[in-house]
Amino acid sequence: MSGSGGWTWRHRAAPYLFLAPSAALFATFLAYPLVRSAVLSFYKSAGPDHEVFVGMANYAFLLRDRYFWWAVANTLLFTVGFVALELPLALGLALLLNHRRVGLKKFFRLAFFSTYLVGQVFVAVIFALLLGGRQGLVNRLLMDGGVIGEPVGFLTDPRWSMVSMWIAALWLMSGYGMIYLLAALQGVDQRLYEAAAVDGASGWGRLVHVTLPGIRHVLWFLVLVGAIGGLQLFELPYVLFGGSGPNSAGLTVVMYLFITGFEVGDLGYASAIGWALVAMIGVLAALYLRSTGLLREERR
Amino acid sequence: MNRRGVCSALGLNLLVWGLAGVAVLPLAWMVGMAFGGGPDGAWSLENFKILLKDEPMGRWLVNSLFVSCSYAFLVVMLSAMGGYALAKYQFFGKGLAQVVLVGALLLPPQVLLPGSYELMDRIRWIDSYAALIVPGGVSVFGMLLFRQAMIAVPDDLLSAGRMDGCGEFRLWWGVAMPMVGPMVGAFTLMSFISAWNAYLWPQIILQDHGKFTLPIGLANLSGLPGYQANQGLLMAATLLSVLPAAALFLILQRDFVAGLSSGAVKG
Amino acid sequence: MSFSLPKPMILMAAVAIAAGALVMVRPSPRTPDLTVWTFAVEHARMYRDRIDGLPSLVEQYEAATGRRVKVQLMSANALDVRLLSLIHSQSHDVPDLVEIEIGSIGKYFRAPLRGVGLLPLNDLLREGGLDGQIVPWRLAPWTKDGVIFGVPHDVHPVGLAYRKDLFDEAGIDPARAKTWEEFQAMGVRFQRFWRERGIERRWAMELPGASVDALRMMLQQRRIHLLGPDNSVHLDEAGVAKTVVFYARLVAGEGKIGEDASAGEVGFAKDLARGELCSLLMPDWRVGYLREYAPELKGKLAMMPLPRFEAEDAPTATWGGTMMGIVKNGSDPNRAWDLLRFLQFSPQALKARRQTSDILPPLKMAWDNSAYHRPDAFFGGQKIEELYVELAGQIPPSYSSPFAVLASAHLSAILNKAVREVEAGRIEGLEEKVKDWLAEAAGRLRGQIRFGEFPS
């Protein structure tokens, strides 16, 4: 773009002006805290006014802190299970709503998506009542239906904690995935289906050979979003169990960070936990970029 | 249509109805509980009356509206400006800026908590709304989103505008922004919802009971025995907390869907 | 060229301005002279509720001094996060008096003494002559390195309450159980009686299968503390393994008599009322919940001291506890102390407490009041407060520590493993296994404490 006349310098300066407010906020509220968090991770602290330099001690302890690894295991288990359950569910919903013989599409789209508008805290409050209690709604329905004889301790039995978290999270998130997949499905080239029909492909064949490849970018996107969200899980179990849950079965990495930094008051160790989370997400992102080949496309 | 087709269509529709039932059941239950509590199980507003009398729910609602709307306005504004600059200008440092942005996109915000908390403490922003609105005002995700959407704005149009003597700001505002209308709607909704539902940061920042936002207030109520025992009361509070977000979605839902398919997920 | 805002942004701006205006102009409530934070409904009620139309405790104080007092009720989690954040940021915009729960106080004690953020009360207590009157063990949990940071609100002795009607029907008198083993046998018989009559969901006792509250009380009866006052670790002490195994066999396997209560703080009341869980560990603070949330239980209950393991064990334990302390950065510590004394120890306060709650005060001399020696219709005419007074004199010690949470987590993990073993029928040699687990956990906990202790 070559300028002529009066607007050249303005044209030159404009992008900087447009970016200036963001850059200022970025530097103050993102870059600075980030650096501070990095520095803090080498300190032991009891609030901002009691800090002692400890070198690598926080990281060294992190490596053998069973509580931390327990939180990591919980978080990973939640994430893997959540993504593995959410995708098929969301895809199933999207396929159903995309089916030409299903009526009232707009209404259903709204119905399924409506759950996403309920924030994690509110979902947790609702599900604490639905799942909690020997006479909670879910237990009552299951007992009346003869599925179980004794009430299940969804919130009190550590073996059920993860299931409870999955149930609440799936209810919250499936509609979100569905909306994206629905948009993607409508973008798949119809001629491909026609060609497949000519080749005599079955419904399953069409799904595997036309639909899935056609929406694979969105599927990968949802895997990434789901995984990152899963690794950052906090509010849902924290409010659902009123803490870390029975036998800490609901303890997640971010919850451990929160408890360490803001309940125990050790901002230093909390920072180290935060950087461990950064590493986890970094590994995930690297895997993602490799498996989707996005880097290669970018270079091309 | 043959008989088998009719059957499968019926089956599919029944399946959708069933699934929708499961999805909506908790919400319906919430509404039922919230309006229950009348004599003989009749519908009543009793729970809402008690709630508004005993708790500063009205205050929390106004607080939440103020914080979420201010935040959404700020973040959409800044993201659209930044995204426009990245999409439509060549300038020194652009490459670096984009690499930093993509890197920051993957940064979990929680790692910032200790440093941010310390910063808020230093600049005396603990217990202030500024701490909830301003630091999040720069959204890496939003900038990239708008960058993607604004690439589609034709350069010729902008050049023509410049010929006519339009200022750069006016070009952004008058030419580019109207062309990404659905994205504005979609991102406004997303930003509003995320501020509306935010818990971790406000929980650390807000101290004064009267300044709470709804998630903080509600999580507080749900920890009190009186509310645990009276589920109708708690559900009435939850319903009040969820409604505004739902209302905004209804207003913006067309933009939202269009915005999603227009640029967010091209891969 | 149009120059209008996109509609969604107009909407956001309009609502933000309108709500912002409301936030600005709404009358902020008159700032009180003294603010009190509490997390317990029952305490808030005692301070601020009117009884029979007479002025509440707070109103009496306001009338006498002309100072305005605000009592703020919030959930325990919220209170801790806020108060710790205020202390850490050395804010001066703090409440004057705060109530802190016994499970939380450790968080405040992690900092070195000068960083605790609460006012040392040793001198004030001595000057007021209060230190000799308070039940001795109840100051210990609020003390760090000899410095007292809080005044106890309670004693919280624990008895065992049971559905007398249902046990009578089954022809069983639990009060005759002197040991936990005898009680377990009775519980098994009780459940069998009702199973034979077609009632499947009826358990003898509320006992959490995963959390260690009840197990900790049993250990306390035996005067075993996971952590001593100096953070010494006693997880591997003799007797712990035995108690863990015994407890696991109370909640799993053939001798199972205990089940989890419904979630939440008051879930137990409904479970008891429905006859699903027929006895519970009953500290005095739970009585109020029963009266309020399960009034239908009136006349159906009775209470007894806790069964023991061995004769020298205490017939009671303590569960929960609250202190009231003064925030160091508060506006005026002397005024705060004046209010604290009024709310906790004045004759008016003791009267309000008797009228609004079943919680026994920590002052021994107050126990002679006839109100604590009356028959209680809710418990079928039994003098339960008298029983609490009797138990309160025998409470075993308890301490608090920043690492109590970690110690409980270790114990909880081991209890869970033990429960799984019992469920799988692998009871042979379980005690030895538990001993090994405890020894390993104790070592780990010592390492965690070494790492976590803040150098003073």
Flag if B118 and A267 touch (Cβ within 8 Å).
yes
CB C358 within 8 A of CB C287: yes
Flag if A102 and B114 touch (Cβ within 8 Å).
no
pLDDT at A1 over 50: no
What distances in angstroms separate CA B83 from CA A16, A31, A40, A190, B147, one per listed residue?
A: 12, 19, 33, 33, 4
- Which chain C residues are Cβ-neighbours of A150 within 8 angstroms? 200-201
CB A40 within 8 A of CB A271: yes
| Domains in chain B, CATH or no CATH each | 56-264 (1.10.3720.10)
Burial class (CB in 10 A: 0-12, 13-18, 19+), C346: middle
Average pLDDT over residues A247-273: 91
pLDDT at A172 over 90: yes
pLDDT at B37 over 50: yes
Q: Touching check for A257 and chain B: CB below 8 Å?
A: yes
Looking up tokens 């053939």 gives C254
pLDDT above 90 covers what percent of chain C?
69
Average pLDDT over residues B136-152: 89
The pTM score is: 0.89
Structure confidence at residue A170 (pLDDT):
95
**Which ranges in chain C are annotated with CATH 3.40.190.10?**
34-152+319-357, 158-317+397-452
- At C397, the pLDDT band (50, 70, 90 cuts) reads confident
The percent helix, strand, coil of chain B (3-state, each to 5) is 80, 0, 20
pLDDT at C2 over 50: no
CB C45 within 8 A of CB C357: yes
Q: Touching check for B235 and chain A: CB below 8 Å?
A: yes
Choose among B53, C168, B223, B37: nearest CA to A238. B223
Q: Touching check for A128 and chain C: CB below 8 Å?
A: yes
- Which chain A residues are Cβ-neighbours of B169 within 8 angstroms? 14
B7 Cα to chain C: minimum distance (Å)? 43
Average pLDDT over residues A75-84: 97
Structure confidence at residue B166 (pLDDT):
83
pLDDT at C298 over 60: yes
pLDDT above 70 covers what percent of chain B?
93
Structure confidence at residue B243 (pLDDT):
92
Chain A, chain B: beta-carbon pairs less than 8 Å apart: 260
Structure confidence at residue B260 (pLDDT):
67
Name residues 234-293 of chain C within 8 A of B (Cβ).
Answer: 264-267, 269, 289, 292-293
- At C357, the pLDDT band (50, 70, 90 cuts) reads confident
**Phi, psi at C179, each rounded to 5°:** -115, 160
Chain B, chain C: beta-carbon pairs less than 8 Å apart: 115
Flag if B23 and A175 touch (Cβ within 8 Å).
yes
CB B160 within 8 A of CB B166: no
Choose among C273, C296, C288, C239: nearest CA to C435. C239
Structure confidence at residue B261 (pLDDT):
62
**Which residue among B166, B181, B228 places its CB closest to the CB of C6?**
B181
Query: Each residue of C326-344: pLDDT tens digit?
Result: 999 888 999 999 999 999 9
- Minimum CA–CA partner of B250 in chain A: A110
Flag if C289 and B76 touch (Cβ within 8 Å).
no
Three-state DSSP class for C206?
Answer: strand
Structure confidence at residue A298 (pLDDT):
45
- At C1, the pLDDT band (50, 70, 90 cuts) reads very low
pLDDT at A250 over 90: yes
- Which chain B residues are Cβ-neighbours of C267 within 8 angstroms? 228
The percent helix, strand, coil of chain A (3-state, each to 5) is 75, 0, 20
- At A2, the pLDDT band (50, 70, 90 cuts) reads very low
Query: Each residue of C299-313: pLDDT tens digit?
Result: 999 999 999 999 999
pLDDT at C387 over 50: yes
- At A299, the pLDDT band (50, 70, 90 cuts) reads very low
- Which chain B residues are Cβ-neighbours of A129 within 8 angstroms? 33, 231, 234-235
Structure confidence at residue C249 (pLDDT):
96
- Which chain A residues are Cβ-neighbours of C107 within 8 angstroms? 263-265
Topology annotation, domain C158-317+397-452: D-Maltodextrin-Binding Protein; domain 2 (3.40.190)
| DSSP class per residue in C100-124 | EETTTHHHHTSS-GGGS-B---HHH
pLDDT at A295 over 60: no
**Phi, psi at C55, each rounded to 5°:** -60, 145
C5, C12, C38: best mutation site toward chain B, by most B Cβ within 10 Å?
C12
Flag if B216 and C78 touch (Cβ within 8 Å).
yes
C83 Cα to chain B: minimum distance (Å)? 8
Structure confidence at residue B4 (pLDDT):
64
**Which residue among B69, B126, B189 places its CB closest to the CB of C19?**
B69
pLDDT at A300 over 70: no
Q: Touching check for A155 and chain B: CB below 8 Å?
A: no
d(CA B138, CA A26): 6
Flag if C262 and A135 touch (Cβ within 8 Å).
yes
pLDDT above 70 covers what percent of chain C?
98
Q: Touching check for B196 and chain A: CB below 8 Å?
A: yes
- Minimum CA–CA partner of C92 in chain B: B124
**Which residue among C262, C451, C454 places its CB closest to the CB of A133?**
C262
Report chain B's terminal Cα–Cα distance, integer Å.
39
C413 Cα to chain A: minimum distance (Å)? 6
Flag if B89 and A258 touch (Cβ within 8 Å).
no
pLDDT at C449 over 70: yes
Q: Touching check for C110 and chain A: CB below 8 Å?
A: yes
Average pLDDT over residues A232-254: 92
Q: Touching check for B267 and chain A: CB below 8 Å?
A: yes
CB A59 within 8 A of CB A72: no
What's the whole-number average pLDDT of chain C?
91
**Which residue among C80, C210, C406 places its CB closest to the CB of A156?**
C210
Choose among C419, C354, C451, C38: nearest CA to C212. C419
C414 Cα to chain B: minimum distance (Å)? 28
C290 Cα to chain B: minimum distance (Å)? 11
d(CA A95, CA B18): 15
Average pLDDT over residues B137-159: 89
pLDDT at C83 over 60: yes
Structure confidence at residue B60 (pLDDT):
93
Structure confidence at residue A47 (pLDDT):
66
Q: Touching check for A152 and chain C: CB below 8 Å?
A: no
- Minimum CA–CA partner of A256 in chain B: B110
Q: Touching check for C81 and chain B: CB below 8 Å?
A: yes
pLDDT above 70 covers what percent of chain A?
94
- Minimum CA–CA partner of A289 in chain B: B267
Flag if B82 and A22 touch (Cβ within 8 Å).
yes
A214 Cα to chain B: minimum distance (Å)? 12
pLDDT at A3 over 50: no
- Minimum CA–CA partner of C116 in chain A: A46
Structure confidence at residue B72 (pLDDT):
95
- Minimum CA–CA partner of B6 in chain A: A101
Query: Each residue of C239-295: pLDDT tens digit?
Result: 999 999 999 999 999 999 999 998 777 889 999 999 999 999 999 999 999 998 999
Structure confidence at residue C119 (pLDDT):
96
pLDDT at C356 over 70: yes
A188 or A96: whose pLDDT is higher? A96
| Domains in chain A, CATH or no CATH each | 7-40 (no CATH), 57-299 (1.10.3720.10)
What's the whole-number average pLDDT of chain A?
87
Flag if A29 and B121 touch (Cβ within 8 Å).
no
**Which residue among B29, B138, B241 places its CB closest to the CB of A30?**
B138
Query: Each residue of B93-135: pLDDT tens digit?
Result: 899 998 898 888 888 889 998 889 889 988 888 888 999 999 9
- Which amino acid, B247? A
What distances in angstroms separate CA C239 from CA B47, B221, C310, one per listed residue?
A: 51, 41, 11
CB A132 within 8 A of CB A155: yes
- Which chain C residues are Cβ-neighbours of A124 within 8 angstroms? none
ipTM of the complex: 0.88
C73 or B72: whose pLDDT is higher? B72
pLDDT at B266 over 50: no
d(CA C55, CA C61): 9
Average pLDDT over residues C53-82: 90
Average pLDDT over residues C182-210: 95
pLDDT at C362 over 50: yes
Superfamily (CATH) of domain C34-152+319-357: Periplasmic binding protein-like II (3.40.190.10)
- At A27, the pLDDT band (50, 70, 90 cuts) reads very high
Flag if C41 and B185 touch (Cβ within 8 Å).
no
Q: Touching check for A21 and chain B: CB below 8 Å?
A: yes
**Which residue among A46, A157, A158 places its CB closest to the CB of C454?**
A46
Query: Each residue of B212-234: pLDDT tens digit?
Result: 999 999 988 888 877 888 888 99
Report chain A's terminal Cα–Cα distance, integer Å.
23
What distances in angstroms separate CA B184 from CA B137, C1, C262, C275, one per listed residue?
A: 15, 19, 46, 57
Flag if B91 and A15 touch (Cβ within 8 Å).
yes
B86, B96, B118: best mutation site toward chain A, by most A Cβ within 10 Å?
B118
- Which chain C residues are Cβ-neighbours of B226 within 8 angstroms? 41
- Which chain C residues are Cβ-neighbours of B251 within 8 angstroms? 11
Name residues 202-221 of chain B within 8 A of C (Cβ).
Answer: 203-204, 207, 209-210, 216, 219-221
Average pLDDT over residues C102-121: 89
d(CA A138, CA C328): 48
